[in-house]
Amino acid sequence: MVEPVLQISNLVKNFGALRATDGVTLDLRPGEIHALIGPNGAGKSTLIHQICGTLRQDSGTVRFAGQDIGALGVADRARLGLGRTFQVSSIAPDFSGLRNVMLAVQAKQGSSFRFFKPVMRDKTLIDTAMVMLERVGLTARARVPAAELSHGERRQLEIAMALALGSKAFLLDEPMAGMGPEGSKSLTRFLDTLRQEAPILLVEHDMDAVFALADRISVLVYGRIIATGTVEEIRRDPTVRTAYLGDHA
């Protein structure tokens, strides 16, 4: 079996008496889109926070790209290649989209302690950033302040930043949230190609997108994974149907 890129084992996180993550074991294999679904309050956000490093697990391990990252901070995990987008897009609003991506490029080059060379005359930064913007289809909007970008464009911008990091895995937190039907469709097509770049852990409520994209689906309910399997297996699973899918399947 190919070694998974991301391997989460027996992860536990308590908030007081509440067990938000209850022994979660989950892996992400090369080339796949692994969707994580579950009702509101199931602990999806808590799990994501522990994967990307904003929260520390109480017990269990998180392995990424062959090493235990459970004790690392957000920036260190990102440098190892964990690319992430947020439920509410996270961008530097005063900067143009281009300069946002350039920030990611300079981080990837490992050189933020340069004080004198103007970035806007730095061809290596600009050219690399423009390639990333082109890949997500934002070339025409590159010089617009990020605050003025539409919801969908900000999502594309975040993905461009994750691409610029040379991510070994993408962690996408509800990328379809707030997108119109057209936006969802084109984003679905884009993510379908993105998996060739690196595997995607996709946390998503939009079942059409999940069923269209996912190679495997894990269902999180009350902090536990109640089922993991292919789209067909999950659709047929009786516990999943009662817990979550209802008549959607």
Partner 1 sequence: MILNRETLINLVLAALLLAVPFAADALGQPFYITLATRIAILALAATGLNLALGLGGLVSFGHAAFFGIGGYVAGILAAHAFSGEPLLFGLSGTKQMWVIWIVAAILSGLVGLAIGAISLRTSGVYFIMITLAFAQMVYYFAVSWPAYGGEDGLSILVRNQFPGVNTMRPLTFFLICYVVLLAALGLFALVRASRFGTALQAARQNEVRVATVGIQPYRIRLTGFAISAAVTGLAGALFADLNRFVSPSMLSWHMSGELIVLIILGGTGRLFGPLAGAALYVIFEYALGGLTERWQFFLGLILLVVVLFARGGLLGLLAGKAKHG
**Contact set with partner 1 (CB under 8 A):** 52, 73-76, 78-79, 84, 86, 90-96, 98-100, 102-104, 106-108, 111-120, 122, 125, 145, 161, 164-165
CA–CA separation, 201 vs 195, rounded Å? 10
CA–CA separation, 70 vs 60, rounded Å? 8
Residues 6+ apart with CB under 8 A from 15: none
Helix and strand tally (H, E) in the chain?
Answer: 9, 10
Least distance (Å) from partner 1 to the CB of residue 147?
A: 9
Residues 6+ apart with CB under 8 A from 197: 163, 167, 170
Strands 59-64 and 6-15: antiparallel
Choice between 112 and 193, CB closer to partner 1:
112
Tell me the two tokens of residue 171: 């962690």
Least distance (Å) from partner 1 to the CB of residue 163?
A: 11
Least distance (Å) from partner 1 to the CB of residue 107?
A: 4
Least distance (Å) from partner 1 to the CB of residue 183?
A: 22
Residues 6+ apart with CB under 8 A from 228: 26, 216, 217, 218, 219
Choice between 165 and 187, CB closer to partner 1:
165
Choice between 102 and 210, CB closer to partner 1:
102
Least distance (Å) from partner 1 to the CB of residue 5?
A: 17
Choice between 12 and 92, CB closer to partner 1:
92
Tell me the two tokens of residue 68: 């235990």
- CB-CB neighbours of 118 under 10 Å: 6
Choice between 166 and 180, CB closer to partner 1:
166
